[in-house]
Structure 1
Amino acid sequence: MENTPVPYYPTTGNRRSQRVGIATSGGNAPALNAVIHGATQELNLRGHEAVGIPKGWDGMIERQRLIRLCDLSHEKLMALVYTGGSELRNCRTKIGYEHFPKLKRVIDGYGLDGIIMIGGDDTLGQAARLNRQKVLQPVHERNNRNTSMFIGVPKTIDNDVEGTEQTFGFESAVQAVRRQVIDMKTDTRTMRRLGVIEVMGRDAGHIALHAGYAGGADITLIPEFEIPAKEVANRVADILLEQEYCVICVGEAYGGAEGNEADGFGHKNKQDAGKKLIALLKEQLKTHPKLRKRRLHNVGTSLQVVGYDARDGSPVAFDSILGGQFGGLAAHLADREKYGRMVSLQNGEITHIALSRAKGGRVVTELEYDPVTMRMWNIPKGVVPVVLRARRKAERAMRGHPA
């Protein structure tokens, strides 16, 4: 007598097979495809139908033909784990009230029980709003009477989404920038120059902070901690006097650097942070007496702007795994009809929180960045407060105040 194999996920009760849409929106990020892989495979294994919505919100508004992800060959499904970009393609559209009627008609026509939405804080904020206002409804009534339509998966290389300790794509971006920092060090050491690497990240300095430390940048400057130009120049001078070259990793929004263009959500582009920093430092360094004595006051400069290439490659292993498991948990939540949630990394564990908590603004804190050394701390976060308390005590004593 043959043994009957145990099902992948045995279920009890009257569980209905669902048709679940998967969409990606916002900027590119390594491991978008890994999320699609994890969600699709998990939905397949649980007897649900996974369909892709091309071009994110644009695809919904334009009623693009759905892609039957559930029919992908094993080979194509496996390839999603390590390939960059999104097979479903993205958009940067802002959903307004004028889009609501068409969105409702299209989603009703798709016959979807729910949507796994992969995007940044803007995308997830829109999904949470649509949930809250009950604009879209699942095609079938759920056992738990939950009427939310979306499950969110946070995506951004900037790592600035509140509610999760890390987003997929961040590690890949850090690795890409780290390589640029190391290459810059090779060039500046050989040519005896001041090198500056300007890094993406919008108003958050996470990429610059991590890549600067891991790549051995002498100084890292991030928008969360503006340091007086004279202090930066003095630190650069000390480094030049010691080794005759210096490498600075700077976040693209440092010094309030801002362009004139803005996206549909009002985010202005960041530009020229590195260029402005070089000009400022050259002005400060040319009158430095010790540099003049060593003929280093007119040091040559190099500028490297790391733009979209930080997010356009294949994901590193960590992001492939994190993205895949983010997608897998999103599928699990859909299977359990727990819509209205966002996948999240909390205390090193992949879990989920209310989608309504998705927002931007997660920035680097004093527990991560040391403005004295102008780098990431060498000590873990739990020890940093001890050093900060000692510094503040010393500052009070220097000002003549009692401890």
Structure 2
Amino acid sequence: MTKRIAVLTSGGDCAGLNAAIRAVVLHANTIYGWEVIGIEDGTRGVMERPMRVHPLAPSNFDGHMLRRAGTMLGSVSTGDPFAFPSPHGPVDRSEEIVTGLKDLGIDGLIGIGGDGSMQILDKIMQRADLPFVGIPKTIDNDVFGTDTTIGFDTAVTVAVEALDRLHPTAQSHNRVMILEVMGRDAGHIATHAAVAGGADVCLIPEFRYSIDGVVEAIQSVGHHGRRFSLIVVAEATPKSDGTQAMRPRPGGGERYGGIGEWIGDELEKRIGADVRVTTLGHVQRGAEPNAADRVLASALGVHAVDLMAKGKTGRVAVWRNRGVGDVSIEDVVSNKRPVSADDIVVRTALGLGIYLGDVPLAHQP
């Protein structure tokens, strides 16, 4: 009997999502003869009536789609269906999604998302009594059980390109250039970019630091005859007193933002440095996927379909030790993957003399 599966993207967008969708459709259709249904805007597409879904076939994927940034299916990163916002307070709308999935007549779902999306999707699929396989994507690279996630490598590439452009202008004017990059819960983008982009200071949420330490690092560079510095900071890095730099949301609430400006102000006050701050923001999400992300997305998409075919559901397709594997969704949603002191990139940064703050002494070079 021909199977019918659905695929959706959930959470923040990143480079490589279309490559993953393409891999799912091509492998499911050409190898297994399955039908594939695309669900628009994550779970929102089956929450609404009429449902916003459409069939996907190999003919939908020319060469351009492999290269295209974002997601052809759309995505949402707000509105938990188990506590969906309403004028009267949060309401549980998960049953509308369960009903929609059953009405589609699908035999399983492949969801491309981060750990938060995986948790929601797994809970919904258990209620629907339908198989579910996840594919990890996030530029933050903080999903447990996988060496890397879709979108991370491209985001790092964008950050390094920014540092490459800041370097000559910093050198020309003897300035301190601060680059604020994304990193909601972890500093993987910042540490990789700092090493690859030749930064002098890298500040991330995982390690405490002091402005005095940053000042000392900048002055040390000056002692070696260089009159400019490059600093990379992750957006979720707190101020040196432990409080967060936050900005108000137009619709209420707050979001991360402004740590780069805060550090710049402190340096200008302490040493009178000529500081400029660049915040990359969503530029890191919108780039066309590089080769590494295209290969990763394609490999994980193919593997996710194979897991579904073998009946290995409730799993997340992952990349480990230069090959594909899988871990349980329970492990993914129950664990985090922050930057650790024994991370090879951290050790490399320390070996290069990059100031990272108070990294445990046992891991200092």
The normalised TM-score by structure 1 is 0.79
CA contact under 8 A between 1:220 and 1:250: conserved in structure 2?
yes
Task: Say if 1:334 and 1:376 are closer, same or farther in 2 by CA, change over 3 A.
Answer: farther
The match for 1:42 is: 27
> 1: distance between equivalents of 2:268 and 2:21?
48
Alignment RMSD (CA, Å): 2.7
Aligned mates of 1:223, 1:390 — CA distance in 2? 18
Q: Decide whether aligned partners of structure 1 residues 378 and 169 sit closer, same or farther in structure 2, where only a CA change above 3 A counts.
A: same
CA distance in 1, matches of 2:155, 2:351: 20
2:213 alignment partner in structure 1: 231
| Gap change, CA 1:304 and 1:190, over 3 Å in 2 | same
Residue 129 of structure 1: how far off its partner (Å): 2.1
Larger mean CA deviation between 239-248 and 305-314 belongs to 239-248
Give unmatched runs, 5+ long, in structure 1.
1-15, 139-148, 286-297, 380-386, 392-403
What displacement does 1:257 show? 3.0
Residue in structure 1 matched with residue 37 of structure 2 by the alignment = 51
Tell me how far 1:284 sits from its aligned partner: 2.3
CA distance in 2, matches of 1:44, 1:263: 44
**In 1, are the aligned partners of 2:195 and 2:345 still within 8 Å (CA)?**
no
Matched, 1:197 2:179: yes
Q: Distance in 1 between matches of 2:290 and 2:347?
A: 32
Give the letter for the 1:53 counterpart. Answer: I
Rate the CA distance shift 1:258–1:59 in 2: closer, same or farther, 3 A: farther
Structure-to-structure mapping, 1:2-401, within 5 angstroms:
16-45=1-30, 46-63=32-49, 64-70=51-57, 72-73=58-59, 76-92=61-77, 93-96=79-82, 98-131=92-125, 134-138=126-130, 149-241=131-223, 242-255=225-238, 256-259=243-246, 261=248, 269-285=255-271, 298-359=272-333, 361-368=336-343, 375=349, 377=351, 388=362
**Greater CA drift, 315-324 or 326-335:** 326-335
Task: Give the unaligned 5+ runs of structure 2.
Answer: 84-91, 354-360
Larger Cα-atom Rg: 1
- Secondary structure of 2:122's partner? helix
The residue identity in structure 2 corresponding to 1:183 is R
CA distance in 1, matches of 2:282, 2:75: 15
Deviation at 1:370, TM superposition (A): 8.5
Distance 1:250 1:129, change over 3 A: same
CA gap of 1:221–1:390, structure 2 versus 1, over 3 A, is closer
Query: Which residue pairs with 2:357 in the alignment?
Result: none
Mean alpha-carbon deviation: is it higher for 354-363 or for 19-28? 354-363
Tell me: CA distance 1:378–1:188, structure 2 relative to 1, closer, same or farther (3 Å): closer
- Residue 371 to residue 309, structure 1, CA distance change in 2 (3 Å): closer
Distance between the aligned counterparts of 2:345 and 2:56, measured in 1? 47
CA contact (8 A) 1:213 1:376 kept: no
What is the distance in 2 between the residues matched to 1:319 and 1:214? Answer: 17
**Quick one: structure 1 residues 168 and 283, their matched pair in 2 at CA, closer, same or farther if it must change by over 3 Å?**
same
Inter-CA distance 389–271: structure 2 relative to 1 (3 Å threshold): closer
Return 350-359 or 114-123, whichever deviates more.
Answer: 350-359
Give, in whole Å, the separation in 2 of the partners of 1:263 and 1:339. 40
Whether the 8 Å CA contact 2:247–2:257 is kept in 1: the answer is: no
CA distance in 2 between partners of 1:377 and 1:203 (Å): 25
**Kept after mapping to 2: 8 A contact 1:194/1:247:** yes
Q: Is the 8 A contact 2:341 2:363 kept in 1?
A: no
Structure 1 residue 339: Cα displacement:
1.8
Q: Residue 261 and residue 153 in structure 1: after superposition, are their counterparts in 2 closer, same or farther (change >3 A)?
A: farther
Secondary structure of 1:367's match?
Answer: coil
Whole-Å Cα distance in 2 between the matches of residues 119 and 267 of structure 1?
A: 24
- Kindly provide the amino acid, as one letter, of the partner of residue 172 in structure 1: T
CA offsets, 1:21-55, max 9 Å, x none? 00001001100001001111000121110110111
Percent of aligned pairs with the same amino acid? 28
Runs of 4+ residues deviating >4 angstroms: 260-264, 369-373, 376-379
TM-superposition CA deviations, 1:141-180 (whole Å, max 9, x none): xxxxxxxx31111110000111211101100000000011
Report the count of equivalent residues.
342
Calculate the TM-score normalised by the size of structure 2: 0.87
Instruction: Judge conservation of contact 1:223–1:253 (CA < 8 Å) in 2.
Output: yes
Cα distance in structure 2, aligned partners of 1:267 and 1:322: 35
Tell me the distance in 1 between the aligned counterparts of 2:289 and 2:281: 16
Q: Which residue of 2 aligns with 1:10?
A: none
Secondary structure at the aligned position of 2:127 is classed as coil
- How far apart in 2 are the matches of 1:376 and 1:304? 24
Q: 1:68: Cα distance to partner?
A: 1.1
Letter in 2 for 1:188: A
Local SS of the residue matching 1:68: strand
| 1:270 counterpart letter in structure 2 | Y
1:371 deviates by: 8.1
